[in-house]
Chains A and B, each alone.
Chain A
């Protein structure tokens, strides 16, 4: 893959992020409501409001406020949280680490289960196994995570079993077992949806490949079916799966909002819900932008992975 291809993709990603930052800023500033009123309450005196607006820079032109905000981002400065009275950057960074751990573990678990299941389903197209896997994955896509989560809590985190804590977080530095115990249920809920999605992509990618000429040739050569499937088929059949896997990191960023809230897991999603509920504008902007950035980076990785697997795509 050429350097020009890489540069173009990175540039597109940066432009996307720049536009996104403008949209996020506009969304949170042009809509009705005033941060000063939110902080001081409806009963505040006009003088106090004016003083706070000056301190927060709300009396300056919109474009200047935006550029100020934008200039801080490369340094990791996202303004000061209006409800916690702390710089938003470090809070977001810490929570982002927690969420990233959750997302990466989920991706690995989901990939490890979904790819073999999808390949198996495709290789026995129309069999009872295939139909069962498809039906189960359909349910997986359709059942919302806030329904799956309570069911898992009943099964695994409530008496009589009570194997796992039903919510909360323990730092990795304190105890590995405690950290793991708290992360299991969120990962299972997130993976549940992801497995269903990945499995269907793998299956349809494999079906396409398995009907191609070179697979027929491999079979006619007398290769064993297992070799045909896993060595010849998977290599091409998985190129869409890899792309989808990367895109799903972005998709996971949407799911963590709700899953972290359910399990009181202190990640980026829960932080955003807190920020929205309390109208903490700097935190809202920061969390939304980081979530968008994760998606843009994931998209970039998806393009690069696809280009690496299929060099024809990298040509203009």
Chain B
């Protein structure tokens, strides 16, 4: 430790610090969501009109909201919805994006060109706007928000994974598999997929944070989780209406979202460096 303190020039944080810090925050966010499923100090919807908009105290560690509901309990109880939005949307985005990326990157040709034109067109509307388009058809709600954000994330996954697939498909082991007479599906899923997992993990991790914010944004707009159920986006929306009276209802959900997003982003960036995945300048 002494050498670090005595170092003449302050250094940039080392790469693995990102990874460790990100992993720590990620585990914390997951722990909050898991604990919230089983335990909260108060019932999350218990109204206490005598203690509305209260500052933090031993009885209410994060204060209370405009109905006197315990903010900590609501952050815990709503956590799984916010985390589900992040993970669910990413899983769905990959489930749609991976097969398309593998098929187009492996077969190339005419179909690939047509599909990529569609993907480029879809990438020209912001993810949140695309998600809103899907919400128009599906209506508001938590499940619908997961579906919308998952569908909206899929073109990005197609783009990123396809370029990794193109690279992998030019290697000798793929030529060898072709020469052995393996089926196209086997080569895609048995040979190429195992070698493109690094960018998938990196982009997946970053997308969890991104989708978590997108989900909170949809909930904030009233199109995701529906009150009286809580998630962090709903809580921020409710807190903002009374912000001139009290700051405290905002603090809990805001910290929860920021910590989770920073966690998943740092985890992704740390993994990117650790796994030596290239960054394209358009997706920073």
Contact B137 A31 (CB under 8 A): yes
Contact B133 A150 (CB under 8 A): no
Interface size class of B (residues with CB under 8 A): 35 or more
Contact of A126 among B11, B220, B284 (CB under 8 A): B11
User: Which residues of A have CB within 8 Å of B117?
Assistant: 15-16, 19
Give chain A nearest CB distance to B260 CB in angstroms.
Answer: 10
> Within 8 Å of chain B (Cβ to Cβ): is A273?
yes
Contact A146 B129 (CB under 8 A): no
Number of A-B pairs whose CB atoms are under 8 Å?
A: 160
Annotate A117-150 by CB proximity to B: 1 below 8 A, 0 otherwise: 0000000001110110010001101111011011
Annotate B1-32 by CB proximity to A: 1 below 8 A, 0 otherwise: 00000000111110000000000000000000
Q: State A188–B145 Cα separation when bound (angstroms).
A: 28
Please tell me the number of chain A residues within 8 Å of chain B, measured between CB atoms: 64
Would you list which residues of chain A between 240 and 267 have a CB under 8 Å from chain B? 240, 243-244, 247, 250-251, 253-255, 257-258, 261-262
Take A31-B137, A277-B222 as given contacts and tell me if A292 and B125 are in contact as well, using a CB distance cutoff of 8 Å: yes
User: Which residues of A have CB within 8 Å of B124?
Assistant: 16-17, 20, 250, 292, 295-296, 299
Contact of A295 among B125, B133, B254, B258 (CB under 8 A): B125
Give chain A nearest CB distance to B255 CB in angstroms.
Answer: 9
Known: A27-B133, A27-B134. 17 other contacts (CB 8 A): A17-B124, A23-B118, A126-B11, A143-B261, A144-B213, A144-B217, A146-B237, A150-B240, A150-B243, A154-B243, A251-B126, A254-B129, A257-B126, A257-B217, A258-B220, A288-B132, A295-B125
27 A-B contact pairs sorted by A residue (CB < 8 Å): A28-B136, A30-B137, A31-B136, A31-B138, A126-B10, A127-B10, A128-B10, A131-B12, A139-B262, A142-B258, A142-B262, A144-B213, A147-B254, A149-B240, A150-B239, A150-B250, A151-B254, A153-B243, A154-B247, A197-B284, A251-B126, A253-B126, A254-B127, A273-B132, A276-B136, A288-B125, A291-B129
